[in-house]
Amino acid sequence: MAGETITLKTEDGDFNAYVARPSKAKAPAIVVIQEIFGVNAVMREIADGLADQGYLAICPDLFWRIEPGIDITDQSEAEWKKAFELFNAFDADLGVKDIAAVIDHIRADRGCSGKVGAVGYCLGGLLAYLTATNTDADASVSYYGVGIENRLGEAEKLERPLMLHIAEEDQFVPKEAQAIILQALKNHPQVTVHTYPGRDHAFARHGGEHYDADAARHANGRSLAFFQQHLL
């Protein structure tokens, strides 16, 4: 089933989200949190895949405050330049506020069972961590989140399950940052961390330069099992 674009109305303004619905009438929802390339084909493919797995997936346009409707790829230098401009202009705390609005919206959807999870990649990986610490999402998964080491003080607010996928050779998350994250979170009762030796940032981005099919399959399998445990 093809996805649809919906508009969410908030006190700060209106923004769009891509929604992919499963075949069943009621299902848990998962908020798919974008990379720095906007709600692009990769993100829509992830949402569609989650719908195929029986989840109500929603991918919000979190760059709407800067420039609505960003849909670019990782295939050209100009697009990378644009993506980093957006990343540098982005306010993560406002992003989390928008994600909280998305969670409320989708939880009230006729097709939602009431449970809502979140999964994010890259910038979205940081936002998935912040979603776990700052919203009432039932379970969150972070893939190679950039900048988590700067927000570890918020882990004390973590009351619901969080899974982290860390690429050990991540060019955007240095070894020192990884060590800080692991040290801070390794004994947290709500946190599960998986590391991937030899893998670089975005190893699960289908079609990306550092895509690794085995590591992606491994991480995605772990994520699905995690969501089955906590959302179904």
Catalytically active residues are 170, 201
Cβ atoms within 10 Å of 184's Cβ, excluding its own = 15
- Measured CA to CA, the distance from residue 160 to residue 217 in angstroms comes to 25
State CA 160 to chain mean position distance: 16
**Cβ neighbours of 130 (radius 10 Å):** 26
State the pairing for strand pair 56-60/27-33.
parallel
CA distance 104 to 21: 17
96 backbone φψ class: left, alpha, beta (φ>0; ψ -120 to 50): alpha
| Contact status, residue 121 vs residue 35, Cβ threshold 8 Å | yes
Distance CA 23, CA 61 (A): 24
